[in-house]
Structure 1
Amino acid sequence: MACHGPDGRAEGTGLAIGGRPAKDLLGKLLAYKSGQLKGTIMHQHAKGYSDEELARIADHFSALK
């Protein structure tokens, strides 16, 4: 929430993710989790969640407009 904000509208250097397709968000989260994508912090965050939890996170942010 600190980087993307609770409504998915990042301020500053974070990436706005609210309203993006859940499939795309989940793909990125799973890629961070598996190590396919490197990031400053996202790969560390993603490893702390199950795939099901990451899908729920993706669904949440996707539903935001």
Structure 2
Amino acid sequence: MKTPLECLVLLSVKDLVTLKEGITLDALQAQAKSKTDLAAAQEMQRAKSELFASFQKQKRRA
């Protein structure tokens, strides 16, 4: 199974994708290698929890 980044690399090699100005595959790959899969998943879960908690706070105010 390929990661989204691996798919992006394959598409880029075939010139089927254009990245935003200032974004490079090298930078994306370096960012991906900077954390383990587990650390990235834990960070995402924390961010999701904070996001969903903010929804609850908004409902209480209304």
| TM-score, structure 2 normalization | 0.37
Q: Greater helix percent: which structure?
A: 2
Report the structure number with the largest CA radius of gyration: 2
